[in-house]
Amino acid sequence: MSKRLLLSVIYLSLAFAGAALTITANVAFVQQYGPGFNLALFIDLANSNAASQSLTYDLLIGATAITIWIITESKRLKMRHLWLVLLSTITIAFAFAAPLFLFLRERRLDELERNKETLF
């Protein structure tokens, strides 16, 4: 198995794990706190103590920086499906979207490498 293929498998596995774990936690939140997803309560609980506030800020700053890089890198590599990554960031989870982007990036780098080889 090539290094690029191995990375792709790892990234895709992390994307599915990120989606599954986040969705499981969100379902547990809805079951525990009421009929529907109360965003205000979710944000309040995410900031309810210093430990959760630290994780919230960590995710917010880290996800913002990585999202800027994702957009920049997608344009630089002329990647397709950027919309899917950005949409899944807000509809599924950043823990899904970031590894999904890395998976798509590896596929694009592989495609560029194959195309380069056919030119020469």
The per-residue DSSP string of 77-106 comes to TT-S-HHHHHHHHHHT-HHHHHHHHHHHHH
Phi, psi of 43 (to 5 degrees): -65, -40
R_g (Cα) of the chain, nearest Å: 17
Per-residue pLDDT, 50: 96
Per-residue pLDDT, 44: 95
The tokens describing 97, both together, are 């979207």
- The ranges assigned to domains in the chain are 3-119
- Spatial CB neighbours of 50, under 8 Å, sequence gap ≥ 6: none
Per-residue pLDDT, 10: 97
- Give ∠ CA 12-63-61 in degrees, rounded to 5: 155
How many Cβ atoms are within 10 Å of 8's Cβ, its own excluded? 20
The tokens describing 20, both together, are 């599954």
* Full-model pTM: 0.90
Per-residue pLDDT, 120: 52
pLDDT digit of tens for each residue in the chain (120 aa)?
Answer: 789 899 999 999 999 999 999 999 999 999 999 888 899 999 999 999 999 999 999 999 999 999 999 999 999 999 999 999 999 999 999 999 999 999 999 999 999 998 886 755
Per-residue pLDDT, 42: 94
The tokens describing 106, both together, are 């590896």
